[in-house]
Amino acid sequence: MNYADYGFIRLASIAPPVAIGNPKRNAEQIVQSIQQNEYADVSLMLFPELSISGYTCEDLFFNQSMVNQVEEALYQVARASDERIVVVGAPWRLADGRLLNAAFVCQNGLILGAVPKTSHPNYGEFYDKRWFASGADVEQCVDHPKLGQFVIAVDQLFAIGASWFAIEICEDLWQPSPPSMRHVLAGAELIVNPSASNELVSKANYRRDLIRMASAQGVCAYLYASSGPTESTKDIVFGGHNLLAENGSLLAESERFCLSGSSMVCEFDWQKLRHDRSKNGTFANSSRPIAYRHNGKPAQLSVNTLRRTFNANPFVPPADTEFDKEFDQRASEILQIQSTGLARRIMASHAKTLVLGVSGGLDSTLAFLVCLDALDHLKKDHSDLCAITLPGPATSEHTLESARMLVSSAGANLKEVRIDASVEQHLKDLSHSGEHDVVFENAQARERTQILFDLANQLNGIVVGTGDLSELALGWCTYNADQMSSYNVNASVPKTLVIYLVRWYAHHRANQALSDALLRILDTPISPELVPASDNADDAISQQTESIIGPYELHDFFIYHYLRNGFDAEKIYRLAQLAFSDKYDAATLKRWLKLFFKRFYMHQFKRTTLPSGPKVGSVSLSPRGDWRMPDEADVSAILDSIEALK
């Protein structure tokens, strides 16, 4: 398995111990790092700002012996580089006498190019302008007897695999208009930053946020390596902070304050970044700089394993405990988005009543909670919610009792209308055979929808939809039945998130009676309950959705990586193998992946006519904004590619 074929490139940022003012010793340390087995499969190694000399050399930078030693040290590092790229920081004196703080890119025994720092801090504890000139206007071709020919200039891109990277140095990132934003518009998908950022209370958090947001603004990966604690501690202490972020997400970081050195190894995904850039109209339509020099050529890389991990539940924030602070904030915000959207729709429609079908299942339960919050938002009484349960030929006593418990525990009123007779009459009018086929199932769903809309007319209300994102993606809904509503509050909430939201509500917001009802519903198998239990005497609920269409945790994983990241079926399959390695074998993953794509393409016509609903995350299937697809799109090539997977 070569994960480089799927867009992954492995990077390392390393802050080794430094001998201040001793380039020879520092070069030996860097070469030793290059040769360590720990970094054998890394495609790019980044070392801190002025790592050849040490950042805190002060007036030693002016010494001619320092200039000579730096050139020899760069030669040793360049010689030690192979097909891997090594980026090191060093002072460099131009022929006109200006001293630059620069980053040198070494590969295959050569220096491919050098990038000078443009912004030098000259405030507080920093006074870099005493030694260094800005490299903003520098563009010189160097022809050195040992180092060879290379260009020193800011506007340069360097090839790494099939991607490109560029460099900005420390303070360049802190300035109001960082060079990295120009670099990414020129085509860099990776920014590397050799830095020397000292440690202060809370500065690490600021640094993380800065790098994370730089990666988001540039829709890029951002690799950062800062000087370690063996730099001079005259007035400041350095921590050796190494970080990697990708389009707003922090992927990895190292420990700080390690006197023996610190490092971090992780991968970024250039395919994902290109997809994100192509979908981001603002980024795609921004003007591009044209005077960039390209160094190196695209090459095949090898990544046999992945260091980065993939959340098996990408829609749900990972937590060390069942409900940590991040999830608590996320759950509260999602419910506020849903309930605020519904409240605004009530205002616009002048509705006096919310009509909601309550089944005793998860989706209608979440919608019920959202309705309560929306009414509270508008300072309306809960009696303005008409919760109605519509038991039919396949409704179990268990779910019917759950619906009763749910509504009564919230102090609302429940209306019960049995649909057995009306469904029977409808099927009789059709001369139906009596089989429990799709006609039998859909007749129940459409009868319920008819009652909901007619009741809404009667009560001057609107019908609140309950179907979730996962069901919409799979087409697991009846066209012009539960597919339809006046406003669907769950339209962009996937099933795995529905489960977590209901559980969160049970533990954090519900009274005891409501909590008991919610936990009872959570313990009930997911089912449409459209086939009577008598067809399967062993089960009180004969239809169990996940045994028919597959586990929702898998489908939500597929949905996220197909819609959010634009990955093809093979890449999704490989990542699912990693995320679910201890739960599903290859044959099972292929089976449900194939079914996912088949159903996703086959049922687009249901999504083309979806009613409105609040968007709560980055993935949505609204035909008005987020997903537009021909109803007749051909899925056969995708299914063939899945069948061929090993």
- Which residues are known catalytic residues? 49, 117, 170
Which amino acid, one-letter code, is at 467?
G
CA atoms within 13 A on the CB side of 245: 23
Contacts of residue 529, Cβ cutoff 8 Å, sequence gap at least 6:
359, 361, 392, 394, 395, 396, 399, 541, 543
Residue 209 CA to residue 241 CA, distance in Å, equals: 13
Max intra-chain CA distance, the chain: 100
Q: Answer left, alpha or beta for residue 98, where phi above 0 means left and psi between -120 and 50 means alpha.
A: beta
The encoded tokens of residue 553 equal 């945790």
How many Cβ atoms sit within 10 Å of the Cβ of residue 557? 28
Q: What secondary structure letter does DSSP report for 487?
A: E
Cα(212)–Cα(173) distance, integer angstroms: 12
- Residue 38 in tokens: 């720990």
Helix (H, G, I), strand (E, B) or coil at 154: coil
Pick the closest to residue 476 from 316, 361, 335 (CA basis). 361
Q: Which residue has the tokens 């000087």?
A: 227
d(CA 111, CA 336): 55
- The DSSP bridge partners found for residue 44 are 11, 85
User: What CA–CA distances, in Å, run from 546 to 391, 489, 554?
Assistant: 22, 23, 10
Under 8 Å between Cβ of 580 and 554:
yes
Bridge partners (DSSP) listed for residue 157: 294
Tokens representing residue 69 in the block: 């030693």
- Alpha carbons within 13 angstroms on the beta-carbon side of residue 129 total 8
Q: What string of H, E and C letters represents the secondary structure of 105-174?
A: EEECCEEEEEEECCCCCCCCCCCHHHCCCCCCCCEEEEEECCCEEEEEECCEEEEECCEEEEECCCHHHH
Strand-strand pairing, 385-389 and 487-488: unpaired
The three-state secondary structure class of 89 is strand
Q: 365: buried, middle or exposed (CB in 10 Å: 19+, 13-18, 0-12)?
A: buried
* Beta-ladder partners of 356: 387
> Nearest 5 degrees, angle CA 308-CA 312-CA 318?
80
